[in-house]
Structure formats: structure tokens, C-alpha cells
Amino acid sequence: MMLTINSRIKDIYAHPVGRDIIRKMLLQMGHSDSVVKNPVVGNLKLKALPKLSMGKVDEGFFNTFLELLNSEPDIPRTDSCSATRAWWKEAVFYQIYPRSFNDSNGDGIGDLRGILNKLDYLKDLGVDAIWLSPIYDSPNDDNGYDIRDYRKIMTEFGTMEDFDELLKGIHSRGMRLIMDLVVNHTSDEHEWFRKAINEPDSQYGDYYLFHDEPNNWTSFFSGSAWNYYEQRHQYALHLFSKKQMDLNWENPAVRHEVHDMVRWWLQKGVDGFRMDVVNYISKRDGLPDGNESIGALMGYYGIEHYFYGPRLHEYLRELKNEAFAPFDAFSVGETPGVGMEMSKLLTADYRGELDMVFSFDHLEMPEHVRFDDYKYDLNYFKKCMIDWMENYGNHCQPSLFYENHDNPRMISKVDPDPQFRGVLAKLLSTMQLTLRGTPFIYQGQELGMVNKDFTSIDDLRDVESLNLYAELCKTMSETDAFKKLLAGTRDHARTPMQWTSGKYAGFSDAEPWIGTDDDCKTCNAATQTEDEGSVWSFYRALIALRKTHAALVYGDIDIVNKKEHDLFTYYRTSENETFYIECLLSREVKKRKGKLPNGVRLISNYPEVSELQLRPYEATVWMIYKDK
């Protein structure tokens, strides 16, 4: 059914894309979607809204919105089924940011041999699969997310021989490796782009998005999304930095290059890919201007024309058929802005597109963005998880994560008070390793690493932060601008991994490319791996538990006492065993609800768990055998 300006809210809500967008908007306004179920609201026609919103949304908004909806003819299935088995549903993934993981040759930059030297550490922790952030040849404008040559290793990181050895080392330990696939854009130093501007009549002339006039789209890293090129008298699109040029996926030759390159790495033996902003690859025909109200609302102009583009499903299917499927390779898409229904259409096992996606909705609370300084309330995390656990269905597998190289550390967001650091780290790991989904642990998370006390703009390296700083300084003092950066800078997650209490945290013999501080004196891998009560040991024990009990992977999840504030309690059940997980989400001390289940206490934050009380941020996992 075509949706029009005469359609009713309830019809829009019945559409997967409509539902995701309505839910997101309501959430931002502090409402739940029960509003839509109110017949008065549900029966409103779309065309009544511009007036009702008192000018906040205009007609252009609805036209864009309807075009987006009408370009998606499919609806996710709602049948219940049991989940099929797959290695990537059972695996615990660990993300490595190579630049900051371990430096083997004393130049202050992490490298492949550095990773190789730490494989036993990862194996010991219980890691099944490693996701490596980009290691390809790059001028490092965005630390490797700007690729100059997809088939070459970045000089600072080592050689192709080092890579082959690393892959062998990973496989010989029974682990898997997924690489980062960055194909929404390439570096402006990529040969394709050089040729596109210098030989516009060559086959490369149409590899990127050139326009005579720029539209109003903005870059995620500040300013216009267009660079001017004298050679062609034209502008080229870059959604990210000025050196990250968006590829033209409309051109079949570009898609073939990508398929070829992916096959080349799979042929080498890598097990799959994490796909960088893969939902941005298809852009609406003609690249129309972004809607003003959406731009003002989001802070970025143009998103609605590419975050769920008209040919996205087609490109993903083609990529799967041409490259992933023949190798039975795994894929997880990084898909900012995509909601649950869209995620279903991108990942359901009957769709032939992706295996999983990273959704980001749980990372910031409604009405907040990453650069706001606020306290994250874990009750919001609980709310998001209830939704994913109960509504995503068994055709799809959720991903579970708090951190990556683009976000501050979770402990710091929730409660920076050092006295709760350890217990909070354990609480987070308990939820991540016992909810239904595939956990992705970010390097250092297993030690409970926290945000850094950067003291000046000179401490920061990230292109996003540096551009934003320049932008902010136009309207505020340098001190205020720096303060704003401190809340959200991606560099919090990019400081060296803390291996020891020694100089440079044992990461390198030379001064690292980005600062270390005194935190390694009390938080480091060497001490924690020797201490049974450490955060690291807790992670290890829980990972082992997850591995030996299918209930924690494939088991049903039953969330109880949902309305109870600050408490997140659920059962994971398989045929012959049940786990009961209790998580206290705040500093409060709470009386337990009713009696403890009969069973065996397996893991807890404290050696002696009180029968009556849960202490601040305490998490406990209980196992209950049937017929015993």
C-alpha cells in the first residue's frame, strides 16, 4: 500500500521504517509508543501534523519521510521459530584498535607483531574472534578509516608477512579474525580518487560522487560535505573527513572492485568483516538537499537521503552473493541510525544480506548526544535491552556492546566515582555476557579502563575532535570548547592499552602517539591476570560460563519485575538448566524481592553475597538445575 499525506499515523506505524522513525521521535520527546495506540492519535492523518507541531516539522519533512517509507516494500516476518546455530552466535568477540594495542618495535605505535605477542593473553581470556580495526595502507587522517590501498598493510603496522603470521597465530589458537571493511569511502590519496580528478575521462571518472554544485549536506566531522576540485571544476562528496571521499556505489565497476577485494581477503583466510557505516552506501538519486527541520533536529544535514538508501538491500545482497556466501564468511554491519525493524530487514536469516548489525540507540540517552556531559542511567540500558530481547525475534541475532573506538568508556558515563569502578565493570560484563546476543568487548574493557583526564587540546589526536574544536571556538571560549570535547571525544577509547604499571603502561618503550597517564599504576593487565578478584578474572570466569552453558547463548530469555526501577532481573532457560541473573543498576542498596532461587551461586561481585540485600551495582548469576 502506497503511503501518502492522507495516511493515518497507525498505518505509518505499521510500516517497519515508519515504526522505527516514530519510535525514535517519541523517545527523544520522552514518550513511549503507547501514544500511537491511542485511537485519537492513531487515526490522525499525516497532513494534520505540520500544523500540530506548530511549525517544527514542515511538509518537505513528510515528503522525504514518505519517499523513504515507500521505497521499502518489505515487512519483517513475525513468526516464532527457534534460533539456528552459528559460530558467531556462540563467539565472544574482542575489538582491537591496532594503533593503541601493543607496540613491538618501540616507535610508539601499536602494530601487528604487537598483537601477535598478545594472542595468548586473548586466548586465556576466552576470546573466540578478533575484530581488527583497519590495518590497510592509509595516510591516517582518520587512523586507518581512510584507506589508500586495500591490499597493502599500513607501514607503521608491519608487512603482509606479519599479517599472514598473525592470521596463522589466531587460527592455530582456535580463534577467528574479522577485518574492518571501509567501503563507503576511500582516502583521497587512493589511486582511484587521484585518477578520478586527474583523468576524469578514464574509467575512474565516475568512481566517486562529483557534482557541479554542492548540496546542503554536512560532514560528520564538521562543515560542508563537499570539497572543490579545480581539475574538474567540480565538487566531490565526503560524509566524513575532507580526506575520506564517498564512493559511487551506483557504478557497477565500483561494486565489482569491492567484491574482488573482499574475495581477495577471504581467500587469504579471514573469517569475515565488520562493515564500516555500511548503511550509508546507497544515496538517493540526484543527492537532493537535506530537509531543514531534520538537519536542525539531528545536527547533520542530508542523513535521510542515505542512512537507509533506496538500493541498500540490493547492494548488500549482491555483496553477499558475490563475495561472502562462497566463503561462508561472517558480516556485521555498523549501521548508525537504523532502528530495530530496519535491522530485521538487514539481518534476518531468510534475507541473505548481513548476519548482524551494530545498533547505537542504547549508547546515549534520549535528548543527549555524545558530547553532552551527563550521567548515563542504566535503567535506560535496561529499557533498550528489554525491547531488543523481546521484539527482535529468533530470525535475528542482537549484538551486545557498550564500547568501541568511537565512544568514551562506559564506566565513566555511568558513574565516574572510583569507589564503584570495579563493581560497575563487573555489572556491565554480567549483562553483556548473559543477555541474548553476541558480545563485542572493546580492548581494555576487560580491565575496567576509564576515560582519560586529558588536560588540553594538545593531548587530543582525533580528527573529529580537532575539527569540532575549531568549529566550537568560533562561538565559545577555548576552555568551554575543550570542556565539551572532554565529554565525548573518541580519544578516550584510543589511549594505549594498559599492560603493566611500568613506563608507558607497558605498551611501548617509546613515547606513545597518544598519552598514557598514571591510571596504569592501579589498572593493568599484569596485576589483574594474577588476581582472582579482578575485573579481568571476572570477565574470564563469565566467558567460560557462557561457553559451557548453551542456556546463556541459545536459551530463552524471560525478563521479570520489569517495572522495578534500578533492578534488572531475568532468566535464561534451556532444556535442563536455568540461570537467574540479578543486576542492581544504581548506587542504591536494595532488599531482594522474595526468596533467592534454590540453586548454586556461581559468580558474584563479592565473596559473601547477602541473602537479603543487593549492594550498589551488584550483579549476581545463579544457576538452577532442573530435577534436582
Q: Which residues bind Ca ion (CB under 5 A)?
A: 103, 105, 107, 109, 111
| Spatial separation of the C-alpha atoms in residues 92 and 106, rounded to whole Å | 30
How crowded is the C-beta side of 7, counted as CA atoms within 13 Å? 19
Residue type, 15: H
- Tally the residues of the chain: 628
Q: Which does 103 bind (CB under 5 to 8 A by kind): ligand TEU, Ca ion, none?
A: Ca ion
**Nearest-approach distance from CB 370 to ligand TEU, in angstroms:** 7
Q: Is 334 a catalytic residue?
A: yes
Total of chain residues touching ligand TEU, rule CB under 6 A: 12
Query: For ligand TEU, which residue of 103, 111, 276, 341 counts as binding (CB under 6 A)?
Result: 276
Residue of 75, 26, 24 lying closest to 342 (CA atoms): 75
The residue among 162 and 491 lying less far from Ca ion, judged by its C-beta, is 162
| Spatial separation of the C-alpha atoms in residues 398 and 340, rounded to whole Å | 10
Binding residues among 531-590 for ligand TEU as defined by CB under 6 A: none
Site for ligand TEU contains 406 (CB under 6 A): yes
Q: Please state the separation of Cα 139 from the chain's center in Å.
A: 24
**Nearest-approach distance from CB 334 to ligand TEU, in angstroms:** 6
Write the burial class of residue 226 (CB in 10 Å: 0-12 exposed, 13-18 middle, 19+ buried). Answer: buried
| Through-space distance between the first and last CA atoms of the chain, rounded to whole angstroms | 55
The residue among 489 and 604 lying less far from ligand TEU, judged by its C-beta, is 489
Q: Using the 8-state DSSP alphabet, how is residue 100 labeled?
A: G
Rounded to 10°, the helix 378-391/340-347 angle is 50
The residue among 107 and 558 lying less far from Ca ion, judged by its C-beta, is 107
Q: Which does 162 bind (CB under 5 to 8 A by kind): Ca ion, ligand TEU, none?
A: none
The residue among 330 and 358 lying less far from ligand TEU, judged by its C-beta, is 358
Cβ atoms of 150 and 261 within 8 Å: the answer is yes
Who contacts 624 (Cβ-Cβ below 8 Å, separation ≥6)? Answer: 577, 578, 579, 580, 597, 598, 599, 600
Q: Using the 8-state DSSP alphabet, how is residue 203 labeled?
A: G
φ, ψ at 237 (rounded to 5°) = -85, 135
Write the burial class of residue 573 (CB in 10 Å: 0-12 exposed, 13-18 middle, 19+ buried). Answer: middle
**Nearest-approach distance from CB 447 to Ca ion, in angstroms:** 21
| Spatial separation of the C-alpha atoms in residues 182 and 613, rounded to whole Å | 48
The residue among 150 and 157 lying less far from Ca ion, judged by its C-beta, is 157
Write the burial class of residue 263 (CB in 10 Å: 0-12 exposed, 13-18 middle, 19+ buried). Answer: middle
The residue among 101 and 308 lying less far from Ca ion, judged by its C-beta, is 101
Site for ligand TEU contains 277 (CB under 6 A): yes
| Spatial separation of the C-alpha atoms in residues 561 and 573, rounded to whole Å | 17
φ, ψ at 157 (rounded to 5°) = -90, -20
**Nearest-approach distance from CB 282 to ligand TEU, in angstroms:** 16
**Nearest-approach distance from CB 177 to Ca ion, in angstroms:** 20
Q: Which does 226 bind (CB under 5 to 8 A by kind): ligand TEU, Ca ion, none?
A: none
Q: Which does 247 bind (CB under 5 to 8 A by kind): Ca ion, ligand TEU, none?
A: none
| Closest residue to ligand TEU: CB criterion | 145
Query: For ligand TEU, which residue of 101, 240, 381, 388 counts as binding (CB under 6 A)?
Result: 240
Other beta carbons less than 10 A from residue 323's beta carbon: 22
The residue among 48 and 296 lying less far from ligand TEU, judged by its C-beta, is 296
Which alpha helices (H) appear in 96-234, and where do they start and end?
Answer: 112-116, 119-125, 160-172, 191-198
Binding residues among 317-336 for ligand TEU as defined by CB under 6 A: 334, 336
- Tell me the Cα Rg of the chain: 24
**Nearest-approach distance from CB 221 to ligand TEU, in angstroms:** 7
The residue among 188 and 276 lying less far from ligand TEU, judged by its C-beta, is 276
Cβ atoms of 487 and 408 within 8 Å: the answer is yes
The residue among 103 and 582 lying less far from Ca ion, judged by its C-beta, is 103
Which alpha helices (H) appear in 392-534, and where do they start and end?
Answer: 410-414, 421-434, 463-472, 478-488, 525-530
Q: Which of 146, 334, 491, 577 is catalytic?
A: 334
Q: Which does 220 bind (CB under 5 to 8 A by kind): ligand TEU, Ca ion, none?
A: ligand TEU
Q: Which does 188 bind (CB under 5 to 8 A by kind): Ca ion, ligand TEU, none?
A: none
Site for ligand TEU contains 178 (CB under 6 A): no
How would you label 291-301 residue by residue, b for 16+ Cβ within 10 Å and e otherwise? bebbbeebebb
| Residue with the three cell numbers 575512474 | 204
Q: Is 276 a catalytic residue?
A: yes
Who contacts 594 (Cβ-Cβ below 8 Å, separation ≥6)? Answer: none
Q: Which does 105 bind (CB under 5 to 8 A by kind): Ca ion, ligand TEU, none?
A: Ca ion
Binding mask 115-154 for ligand TEU (x = CB under 6 A): ---------------------------x--x---------
The residue among 109 and 254 lying less far from Ca ion, judged by its C-beta, is 109
Q: Which does 109 bind (CB under 5 to 8 A by kind): ligand TEU, Ca ion, none?
A: Ca ion
| Closest residue to Ca ion: CB criterion | 111
**Nearest-approach distance from CB 494 to ligand TEU, in angstroms:** 10
**Nearest-approach distance from CB 405 to ligand TEU, in angstroms:** 6
Q: Which does 271 bind (CB under 5 to 8 A by kind): ligand TEU, Ca ion, none?
A: none
Binding residues among 438-497 for ligand TEU as defined by CB under 6 A: 464
| Residue with the three cell numbers 519510535 | 23
Site for ligand TEU contains 217 (CB under 6 A): no
Q: Which does 446 bind (CB under 5 to 8 A by kind): Ca ion, ligand TEU, none?
A: none
Q: Which does 182 bind (CB under 5 to 8 A by kind): Ca ion, ligand TEU, none?
A: ligand TEU
Going by their DSSP bridges, the two strands 244-246 and 330-334 should be labelled as: unpaired
| Spatial separation of the C-alpha atoms in residues 309 and 287, rounded to whole Å | 11
Site for ligand TEU contains 208 (CB under 6 A): no
Q: Which of 72, 103, 111, 276 is catalytic?
A: 276
**Nearest-approach distance from CB 573 to ligand TEU, in angstroms:** 35
Site for ligand TEU contains 179 (CB under 6 A): no
| Spatial separation of the C-alpha atoms in residues 366 and 114, rounded to whole Å | 40
The residue among 20 and 406 lying less far from ligand TEU, judged by its C-beta, is 406
Rounded to 10°, the helix 59-70/16-28 angle is 140
Q: Using the 8-state DSSP alphabet, how is residue 625 labeled?
A: E
**Nearest-approach distance from CB 121 to Ca ion, in angstroms:** 18
**Nearest-approach distance from CB 112 to Ca ion, in angstroms:** 9
Q: Please state the separation of Cα 628 from the chain's center in Å.
A: 42
Site for ligand TEU contains 182 (CB under 6 A): yes
Query: For ligand TEU, which residue of 61, 210, 220, 330 counts as binding (CB under 6 A)?
Result: 220
By the criterion CB under 6 A, which residues form the site for ligand TEU?
A: 142, 145, 182, 220, 240, 276-277, 334, 336, 405-406, 464
- Catalytic machinery residues: 276, 334
